[in-house]
Amino acid sequence: MQHFTTLKVIGLCLATALSIPMSIDGASPCLAATKKAAKPKPKAKPQAPTGEVSQGTSYGIDVAPIIETLQERMGVYWKLLGVGPSKYCEIHFLLLPDGRYSNPTVWRSSGDPNYDRAAIGCVDQAGPYAPFEGVDRLPTVATFRTEPKGGDVSISMPGFQASGSKVDKQIYAKRQQNLNVIKLMLQRISSAQKVLGPDSPKLSESINFLANTYKDIKEWNQAETAYKWAIKIREKSNGPNSKELAGSLSDLGDMYAAKGDNAAAENCYKRVLSMNGLPPSVELRTAMQRYATLCLKTGRAKDSEILYQHVTDMQMGKPVTPLPANMLIDTSKSGDDAAKVEDKAKVEEKPKTEEKPKVEEKPKTEEKPKSEEKQKDEKPKVDEKTK
């Protein structure tokens, strides 16, 4: 005890000599300060919170629970409608912070207007959704699938890629599901070809569905091959101006746009809009909507507004004005149409070549012999008078 008191006195003396303040218990405030300075280090944890958005960390919002909630709520209403023949559609809408939604649009049609309306109705019935903070809206894509054993609803939010093992597992599971669908569709198509033939019109719907599935997992080459196969069949069986062909061309353009080939995508959309006699339909509206999105993406806001206005007019049943020439294919330069134009030109040129001999014949010059014959006929008459 004496030894401790002596050390304490010596410490106080040294502190006084060095002008270092000491506490009553002899502890140095410098040591306390170093201990307190070491405590703030755990504050660095909020820089990488669990489940934060990799492309939207500045918004401070995690979309993973929002996606999960949307799928659960819509899945309840879609449970009964999800059983039936294989088909699907995509609905795009904006999710608002108060739980409401706006601007529902059929982005990829199933080909059945009633089916598409049922999907939009499911989005409406499942709301209102849970409110959120951090952003003023969330662009949302809802994919509704129907299968004989039961379909499902999948949700994605472009531009907001959520991290976390749960979402990664969902993405992996979705890809595996698509791969299983592709395997099944290839088996069905191969079996049907043996009975119906390699290019039967009855195969076009299955082939187009196969192409869409390839596109969902970004297998661009396989998707392009399948789309062109479906286009070849539908152009031959349904006609060059059919809505079935328009649907496949529009889907092919959507694939090119997703791939980043904007020129090829625009050519597909133009081909749909240039179809003669194609009535206002889901396929035509879908092609216009996709073309409008592409124009907006490539900095052509005016063209985008014109296309969106045409879509609105068709939905309202208003008369639609012709589209500008730059949104259509120049038939004088396109494959089959160009051949038709050349044939017409040849037919029009033929009369011109036939008219030349008529001008060159000059029948008046050949009338001379007739006048000589008349003179010969007249001479005998004169001879008779003299007799």
Q: How far apart are the first and last CA of the chain?
A: 189
pLDDT given at position 272 = 92
pLDDT given at position 9 = 47
The total of other beta-carbon atoms located within 10 Å of residue 313's CB is: 14
Does 202 score more than 70 pLDDT?
Answer: yes
pLDDT band for position 127 (50/70/90)? Answer: confident
Alpha helices (runs of H) in 142-261, residue ranges in sequence order: 165-196, 204-216, 220-237, 243-259
Radius of gyration of the chain (CA): 39
pLDDT band for position 49 (50/70/90)? Answer: very low
Average pLDDT of the residues of the chain = 74
pLDDT given at position 384 = 44
The total of other beta-carbon atoms located within 10 Å of residue 153's CB is: 25
pLDDT digits (tens, 9 = 90+) for 276-295: 888 888 899 899 999 999 99
- Torsion, CA 68, CA 74, CA 77, CA 81, rounded to 10: -110
Mean per-residue pLDDT, 205-233: 92
Domain ranges of the chain: 1-33, 57-163, 170-331
Identify which has the larger pLDDT, 290 or 52. Answer: 290
Does 155 score more than 70 pLDDT?
Answer: yes
Identify which has the larger pLDDT, 387 or 130. Answer: 130
Does 91 score more than 70 pLDDT?
Answer: yes
Does 298 score more than 50 pLDDT?
Answer: yes
CA gap 245, 281 in Å, rounded: 12
Identify which has the larger pLDDT, 357 or 249. Answer: 249
pLDDT given at position 265 = 93
Among the residue ranges 110-119, 192-201, 305-314, 326-335, the one predicted with the least confidence is 326-335
What topology does CATH give the domain 57-163? 3.30.1150
Chain-centre distance for alpha carbon 327: 18
CA gap 301, 297 in Å, rounded: 8
Of all helices (H) and strands (E), which one includes residue 142?
strand 138-146
Identify which has the larger pLDDT, 134 or 247. Answer: 247
pLDDT given at position 199 = 85
Residue type, 230: A
The CATH class of 170-331 is mainly alpha
Does 12 score more than 70 pLDDT?
Answer: no
Does 77 score more than 80 pLDDT?
Answer: yes
* Same fold across 57-163 and 170-331: no
